[in-house]
Structure 1
Amino acid sequence: MKLPSILRVASPQRFEIKPRYYDPIKEEIEQRTARIKKELQAEGKIPLADEDTEDMTYSSSIRGAFASGNHIRGRSTSLFNSASMLRLVIFMILIAAVFGYIYLGPEALYTVAYIVGGLALLVIFFRIKGKSGK
């Protein structure tokens, strides 16, 4: 007798293999009919069938994907949303902090930290304000 439970217990998975049969005669007949059908369509004796996709030759879907998919559609291309701009800003802040520490001492680091913190709070504020206004 099984007791009722709130939690769902996973049952063991069964191994099922579906055998695939290869019939070389059937394969050869399908290739011949596809070839003859293409020849007749090329000669114009039978109309072109757009719905018949069995005789299409398939190629890799990744070929050319990197070259053609550089720009993702629907993505905002704002200057402040790009990762390279963010890296540049962080790099400039670090350079300013290092030179400020060398020339002005530790007070420069505190000043840079306060400026960065204030800018971060402003960015967060405007993002939250923009989302609530929509």
Structure 2
Amino acid sequence: MGLISFTKTSRHKRFNYEPRYYDPVAEELKQRTEAIKQEIEAARAYSKGTGNFSSAARISRGFARAKSQRKKTSFLQIFLIVVLGTFCVAYLKYGNMALLILVFAVPVYFFARKFNVFESE
């Protein structure tokens, strides 16, 4: 006996099997021809000076980018350690005046960072 239901009931899942022919020799030949075509296109693009270069060139650019990020990170860590150390010494020497300067300097720093004042092109 079916009652009116406000929820959607799930339907049975159907299994569709479509058999296909697989030839490993033809598959390997197709992969090899695609690889050769890509190498030829890469060689043409390299000779013209445009387009994608080999995967080795892309990988080396990725490592260079990661290395520059590490340099920026290490510089930022050293900068923060120096700033915090200087603040601690200034707080011990000048007291609450150093805290007041820090309260005004932090928003100025974030404002300048938002508008890329410290970035060089």
Same fold (TM over 0.5): no
- TM-score where L is the length of structure 2: 0.40
- TM-score where L is the length of structure 1: 0.37
